[in-house]
Structure 1
Amino acid sequence: MKGKRNYGDRRPAPPLDTPTLERLALRYVERFATTRGKLGDYLRRKCRERGTVEDFDPAGIDTIVEKFASLGYVDDAAWAGSKASSLTRRGFGPRRVGDALRAAGIDPDLASAVAPDEDEAWAAAQTYARRKKIGAFGEAEADRDVKRKQMAAMIRAGHGFDVARKTVEGVADA
Structure 2
Amino acid sequence: MPDGDATRRRTRRTPKPLDRRRMNDLALHYVARFMTSSGKLEAYLKRKLRERGWEGEEGPDIAGLVARFAEKGYVDDEAYARMKATGLLARGYGARRVNETLRADGLDEEVRAHNVPADSEAREALLAYVRRRKFGPFAAPVRDKGPEAAHKAREKQLAAILRAGHSFEHARRAVEAPTIAELEEWVEEARD
Superposition TM-score tier, normalisation by shorter sequence? over 0.9
Aligned to 1:111: 112
Q: Would you say the 8 A contact 1:17–1:56 is kept in 2?
A: no
Runs of 4+ residues over 4 Å off in structure 1: 1-5
Partner SS state of residue 122, structure 1: helix
Moved more, 132-141 or 29-38: 132-141
Which of the residues 154, 169, 175 maps onto 1:147? Answer: 154
Q: Would you say the 8 A contact 1:155–1:164 is kept in 2?
A: yes
Query: In structure 1, what is the Cα distance between the partners aligned to 2:23 and 2:7?
Result: 29
With over 3 angstroms needed to count, the CA separation of the structure-2 counterparts of 1:153 and 1:27, relative to structure 1, is same
With over 3 angstroms needed to count, the CA separation of the structure-2 counterparts of 1:164 and 1:36, relative to structure 1, is same
Between structure 1 and structure 2, the one with the greater Rg is 2
Aligned to 1:38: 40
Aligned to 1:21: 23
Query: In structure 2, what is the Cα distance between the partners aligned to 1:129 and 1:100?
Result: 21
Partner SS state of residue 156, structure 2: helix
Aligned to 1:138: 139
Q: Percent identity?
A: 42
Q: Which amino acid aligns with 2:51?
A: E
Q: Which runs of 5+ in 2 are unaligned?
A: 144-149, 188-192
Partner SS state of residue 100, structure 1: helix
Deviation at 1:155, TM superposition (A): 0.2
RMSD over aligned CA atoms reads 1.9
Q: Which runs of 5+ in 1 are unaligned?
A: none
User: Could you list the per-position Cα deviations for residues 94-153 of structure 1 after superposition, in whole angstroms to 9, with x for gaps in the alignment?
Assistant: 000000000001111111111111111111111100000000111134601111000000
Query: In structure 2, what is the Cα distance between the partners aligned to 1:72 and 1:2?
Result: 54
Q: Would you say the 8 A contact 1:93–1:159 is kept in 2?
A: yes
Aligned to 1:51: 53
User: Could you list the per-position Cα deviations for residues 37-78 of structure 1 after superposition, in whole angstroms to 9, with x for gaps in the alignment?
Assistant: 0000000000000111142413x1111111111111000000
Aligned to 1:61: 62
Query: In structure 1, what is the Cα distance between the partners aligned to 2:64 and 2:5?
Result: 42
Deviation at 1:2, TM superposition (A): 10
Q: TM-score, normalised by structure 1?
A: 0.93
Q: TM-score, normalised by structure 2?
A: 0.84
Matched, 1:92 2:99: no
With over 3 angstroms needed to count, the CA separation of the structure-2 counterparts of 1:4 and 1:72, relative to structure 1, is farther
Query: In structure 2, what is the Cα distance between the partners aligned to 1:159 and 1:8?
Result: 51
Moved more, 109-118 or 155-164: 109-118
